[in-house]
Amino acid sequence: MTSPKDKVSIEGKVGKLIMKTRKKRQRPSRKDREGKRDRLSELPDCVLIHMMEFMDTKHAVQTCVLSKRWKDLWKQLTTLAFNTLFFNNVVNFSKFVSHVLSKRDGSISLLNLEFTRRGYAQPHLLNRLMKYASGHNVQQLTIFITLNNKCSFDFRPYIFSCDTLTFLKLYVNTYDPSMIVLPEYLYMPAIRTMQLQSVTFTAYGCDYAEPFCYCPVLNTLILEGCSLHKDQNFLRISNSNLSNLTLDGSFEAGFFPFDLCTPNLTSLTLSGHTDYPLIGSPNLSLLEEVTIESFGIICYHKTELLIISWLEGIRNVKLMTVSLSALDIILQDLSKPLSAGLQPPRFRQLKALMVRKLPYEEPSDDRLKRSLKYLLQNFPMTKIEYDYVD
Per-residue HEC secondary structure of 13-69 comes to: HHHHHHHHHHHHHHCCCHHHHHHCCCHHHHCCHHHHHHHHCCCCHHHHHHHHHCCHH
Instruction: Determine the pLDDT at residue 27.
Output: 58
Write out the DSSP string of 242-298: --EEEEEE-TTT----EEEE-TT--EEEEEES---PBPS----TT--EEEE--SSS-
In order along its 390 residues, the chain shows pLDDT tens digits of: 445 455 444 445 434 543 554 444 455 555 555 555 667 777 888 898 899 899 899 999 998 888 888 888 999 999 999 999 888 888 899 999 999 999 999 999 999 999 998 877 778 888 999 999 999 999 999 999 888 765 556 788 899 999 999 999 999 888 788 888 899 999 999 999 999 999 999 998 889 999 999 999 999 999 998 989 888 889 999 999 999 999 987 756 667 888 999 999 999 998 887 566 777 778 888 999 999 887 544 445 555 667 887 887 788 899 999 988 888 888 888 888 777 777 888 888 888 899 988 777 776 788 888 888 888 888 767 788 888 766
Q: Print burial letters for 178-195: b (CB count within 10 Å at least 16), e (below 16).
A: bbbbbeebbebeebbebb
Widest pairwise Cα distance in the chain: 116
Q: Cα angle at 197 between 257 and 141, to 5 degrees?
A: 135
Cα dihedral sign, 38-39-44-46? negative
H-state helical runs in the chain:
4-26, 30-35, 39-42, 45-52, 57-62, 90-103, 123-135, 308-311, 324-334, 365-376
The pair phi, psi for residue 26, each rounded to 5°, is -75, -35
CA dist., res. 315 & res. 373, Å (int): 16
Residue 8 has a pLDDT of 43
The alpha carbon torsion through 159, 160, 166, 172 (nearest 10 deg) reads: 70
pLDDT 10s digits, 270-308: 888 756 677 777 888 899 999 988 754 444 555 566 788
Q: Are 376 and 351 in contact (CB under 8 A)?
A: no
Supply the Cα-derived Rg of the chain in whole angstroms: 31
Its sign, for the CA torsion 333, 290, 144, 233, is negative
Is 350 within 8 Å of 317 (Cβ atoms)? Answer: yes
Residue 316: predicted pLDDT = 85
Q: Supply the pTM of this predicted model.
A: 0.84
Predicted pLDDT at 13: 47
Sign of the four-CA dihedral 181, 184, 190, 196: positive
Mean pLDDT of the chain: 83
365 Cβ neighbours under 8 A, 6+ residues apart: none
Looking at residue 296, its pLDDT comes to 47
Instruction: Report pLDDT for 153.
Output: 67
Give the pLDDT score at 315.
83
**Could you give the CA distance from residue 23 to residue 35 in angstroms, rounded to a whole number?**
18
